Amino acid sequence: MTHRDDAAPKDPASGRSDDHCYRHPDRTSYVLCQRCARTVCGDCQTQAPVGVICPECMAADRRTAPKVRRSRFGADAPVVTYGLMAVIGVVYLAQFVTQRLGFPILDALGIYTSGYTDLQHGVYEPWRMLTSALLHGSWWHVAMNALTIWIFGRALEPAIGRLRFILLLIASALGGSFAVALLAPNVWVLGASGAAFGLIGAWFVVLRTMRADVTPMIVLIGINVVMAFVNPMISWEAHLGGALVGAASMALMVRDQRRALKSRAAVWGMIAIAVACVVLASVVGALR
What residues are labeled active site? 193, 239
Residues pairing with 2 in the sheet: 32
SS3 of the chain: CEECCCCCCECCCCCCECCECCCCCCCECCEECCCCCCECCHHHCEEECCEEECHHHHHHHHHHCCCCCCCCCCCCCCHHHHHHHHHHHHHHHHHHHHHHCCCCHHHHHHCECHHHHCCCCCCCCCCHHHHHHHCCCCHHHHHHHHHHHHHHHHHHHHHHCHHHHHHHHHHHHHHHHHHHHHHCCCCCECCCHHHHHHHHHHHHHHHHHCCCCCHHHHHHHHHHHHHHHHCCCCCHHHHHHHHHHHHHHHHHHHHHHHCCCCCCHHHHHHHHHHHHHHHHHHHHHHHC
Alpha-carbon distance of 157 to 217, in angstroms, equals 19
Q: Say if residues 48 and 34 touch (Cβ distance below 8 Å).
A: yes
Of 175, 169, 201, nearest to 83 by C-alpha is 169
Q: 96-113 burial string, b = 16+ CB within 10 Å, else e? A: beeeeeeeeebbeebbbb
